[in-house]
Amino acid sequence: MTYTRWTLRTEHTSYTVRLSPDGPSALDWSHRTHFITPADAAPAEYLPYGLRPFTGSELIAGDERGVWWEFDGAEHTEGTLRLAFTDGKTGLRTVLCYETVPGTDVILRWTEFTADGELRLERLDSAAVNIAVTGAARLTYLCGQWSQEFQLTHLDLERGTFAIGSLQGAPGHSYAPWLAVRGGDAAYGIALEWSGNWHITAEAEPGGAVRIRAGRVPHEGAVLLAAGETLATPRVACAFSADGLDGLSRVWHRYERRLTGDRLHRTRKVLYNSWEATGFDVDAAGQLELARTAADIGAELFVVDDGWFTGRADDTGGLGDWYPDPAAFPDGFDRFVADVRALGLDFGLWVEPEAVSPGSRLHAEHPEWVYRVEGRPSRLVRNQLLLDLGRADVQEFVLTTLDRLLGTYDIGYLKWDMNRPPTERGRPGAGPADLDAEHVAGYLRVLDHLRTAHPDVTVEGCAGGGGRIEHATIARTDVVWPSDNTAPIDRLRIQHGFLHAHAPHVMSSWVTDAPGILDPRPRSLAFRFVNALCGVLGIGADLRAWTPGQRAEAARWIACYKEVRDVVHLGEARLLGSPDDTSCGVQYDHGDRTVVAALSTGRLDGAPLLTGRPDRLRLRGLDPAARYRDTATGAEYGGAHLLHHGLPFAWSADHDADLVVLTRR
């Protein structure tokens, strides 16, 4: 062993790990402890129960539940670090793994376990991180429920434990697997890359530190590590920004652009999805009528959502029998797809591969494919059951079904939905299994297969809205659907939270007719468009009912979006204000262009908010000495003016949103 201290460097940060007890850590505040062990007081990277018995450990393993380990060597290269620890008694070897992500301020951490004999892992967190704080720990998290996902929420934690997580076999709608801690101007973030059960805890410790732990939560309460096998935990991405939550959001955006890889440069087409217009009432004539109107206003892609397959008159049947309903498509589905394509539109289809309706043919043929607990009734959620995607035969069914659909029909876009969590989660007769991890592995395997076997197909990730959004999904899909709530001000709040954790190029957003669920304040069509074009623009309204005037306005907005979408998807995004302010917006900078999506959240009765004065959004990150020209009005602003005085918006009863494109002169 040559080193007892290792440093990893990212774009603007460094991360140092020191092996105790060779020297104090920068976060160590005392070398004397009372009533606890030094390991309990230490700002430890990762410690087993046994060594850290009182203040929270990351690993609980073996029959005695305690592991006492010895350092067993380090491997350090530029950008990677592996620290090994072994426990002679349990035969467990644990490797703490670190990897920097080039071009970002993100470090990935995970842990690998290997044992000589079978070992029970009861707690197997991915990592812990220690953050110095002054006073209370200022936590920010994203919480909600179905249709209210990604509500940005703050909490000052002075002492005690804060915990978020999900046992729904998916990240869930209640909390995103994401947490930020603010200290002074800086912000630290962590995000768990895992689409199954999870937890993240924050413990405010005495002496000015908060300790975050994150990991998966085994459905069975423990994972059995087989002799000689290596088990790797999910990765935790750790991010840092010196510019607070807003800067941290840009670190996450950059990281997600990297996750998207080369596919980032594919144009994200303007989508029309018929779900909110037709629901389950899907037939060729009705869909084509919508497709024609969508094409007329400039949409580039037509997606048929739920309801296209046999037995799917409503949500009580059909799932699993993935064949187009011949009654709905009397001339054949391929003919229907060709008709949509003849309008110049790409074609997309909705599927819910893990789902099965109790009355379907699939369920009659394979009742054993569903999660079940012998002797217990299987509960329905949304009238459906869940396939055990951890099973190899179920994976094969899903792969061949998707291959068949994508091979038979000219499909360029697939929306993968999932609308129920596992309840009676068991696999009768199969012996011990790690059902949660096996489901995740099956899900990711199918997504990986789609990328390699059907590289031209764009994939949208959806789970009853934003129920399964995390980095493993984002790395394997092109866009995700943050919420089923498309009402204007509700959506603004959801997107404001979403964009703190995720990038604009993955945020699918539709213009619809939906009234507010949580906030019923009416908003203009312009507001709906400006809000939706903050990510990847789609339309989900019933265009048949739109007036010629509305269609013409929509066509103008869509044309405008096409002009700026590269800036929105490839640029640096800055969140301006919040939905609690009277004006709120997003600024995107790419090359010499700055796009500002501005939205009025105030009253719409015509009364100005400030007598005789416009509201203003102060822009950020511009060159104070440069000049910027509004490409629509020709108005010119100094950079310093935009930064310190702001871009003016004179909101009125019929002007509640704007899209400003500035060019640096």
Residue ranges that bind ligand DGJ, judged by CB under 6 A:
275, 305-306, 350, 417, 419, 462, 464-465, 481, 484
Enumerate residues 6+ apart whose C-beta is below 8 A from 396: none
Contacts 24+ apart (CB under 8 A), 641-648: 642/618, 643/618, 643/619, 644/618, 645/616, 645/618, 646/616, 646/617, 646/618, 646/619, 647/596, 647/598, 647/616, 647/617, 647/618, 647/619, 648/614, 648/615, 648/616
How far the first Cα of the chain sits from its last, in Å, is 57
H-helix segments, 343-383: 361-365
Q: Which is nearer to ligand DGJ, 512 or 583 (CB)?
A: 512
Task: Give the shortest CB-520-to-ligand DGJ separation in angstroms.
Answer: 21
Q: DSSP letters along 488-531, please?
A: HHHHHHHHHHHHHHS-GGGBEEEE--PPPSS------HHHHHHH
Task: Give the shortest CB-455-to-ligand DGJ separation in angstroms.
Answer: 24
What are the structure tokens assigned to 590, written together? 């790419």
At 554, the amino acid letter reads: A
CA distance 88 to 483: 49
Q: What angle do CA 624, 630, 631 make, to 5 degrees?
A: 135
Q: Which is nearer to ligand DGJ, 462 or 662 (CB)?
A: 462
At 587, the amino acid letter reads: Q
Q: Which is nearer to ligand DGJ, 241 or 357 (CB)?
A: 357
Task: Give the shortest CB-415-to-ligand DGJ separation in angstroms.
Answer: 7
Q: Which is nearer to ligand DGJ, 111 or 486 (CB)?
A: 486
Q: Which is nearer to ligand DGJ, 405 or 604 (CB)?
A: 405
Task: Give the shortest CB-493-to-ligand DGJ separation in angstroms.
Answer: 18
Task: Give the shortest CB-266-to-ligand DGJ separation in angstroms.
Answer: 22
Enumerate residues 6+ apart whose C-beta is below 8 A from 214: 125, 126, 127, 128, 177, 179, 190, 192, 198, 199, 200, 201, 236
Task: Give the shortest CB-462-to-ligand DGJ separation in angstroms.
Answer: 5
Stated length of the chain: 665
Task: Give the shortest CB-481-to-ligand DGJ separation in angstroms.
Answer: 6
Q: Which is nearer to ligand DGJ, 177 or 466 (CB)?
A: 466
Q: Which is nearer to ligand DGJ, 247 or 465 (CB)?
A: 465
Contact 246, 492 (CB under 8 A): no
Task: Give the shortest CB-171-to-ligand DGJ separation in angstroms.
Answer: 14
Q: Which is nearer to ligand DGJ, 418 or 567 (CB)?
A: 418
CA distance 361 to 318: 8
Task: Give the shortest CB-475-to-ligand DGJ separation in angstroms.
Answer: 21
Task: Give the shortest CB-567-to-ligand DGJ separation in angstroms.
Answer: 27
Name the residue among 304, 300, 293 with its Cα closest to residue 271. Answer: 300
Question: How deeply is 461 buried, as exposed, middle or buried, from its count of CB atoms within 10 A (0-12, 13-18, 19+)?
Answer: buried
Q: Which is nearer to ligand DGJ, 10 or 508 (CB)?
A: 508
CA distance 123 to 59: 5
Task: Give the shortest CB-494-to-ligand DGJ separation in angstroms.
Answer: 13
CA distance 12 to 622: 20
Task: Give the shortest CB-382-to-ligand DGJ separation in angstroms.
Answer: 8
Q: Which is nearer to ligand DGJ, 419 or 587 (CB)?
A: 419
CA distance 42 to 56: 11
Residue number with the smallest Cβ distance to ligand DGJ: 306
Q: Which is nearer to ligand DGJ, 308 or 557 (CB)?
A: 308
H-helix segments, 533-615: 548-570
Q: Which is nearer to ligand DGJ, 241 or 485 (CB)?
A: 485
Task: Give the shortest CB-469-to-ligand DGJ separation in angstroms.
Answer: 12
Q: Which is nearer to ligand DGJ, 146 or 323 (CB)?
A: 146
Question: Whose structure tokens read 């893990």?
Answer: 354
Q: Which is nearer to ligand DGJ, 205 or 484 (CB)?
A: 484
Q: Name the DSSP class of 612.
A: T
What are the structure tokens assigned to 430, written together? 């199969």
Task: Give the shortest CB-164-to-ligand DGJ separation in angstroms.
Answer: 22
CA distance 475 to 456: 16
Question: How deeply is 76 buried, as exposed, middle or buried, from its count of CB atoms within 10 A (0-12, 13-18, 19+)?
Answer: middle
235-241 and 186-193 as β-strands: parallel, antiparallel, unpaired?
Answer: antiparallel
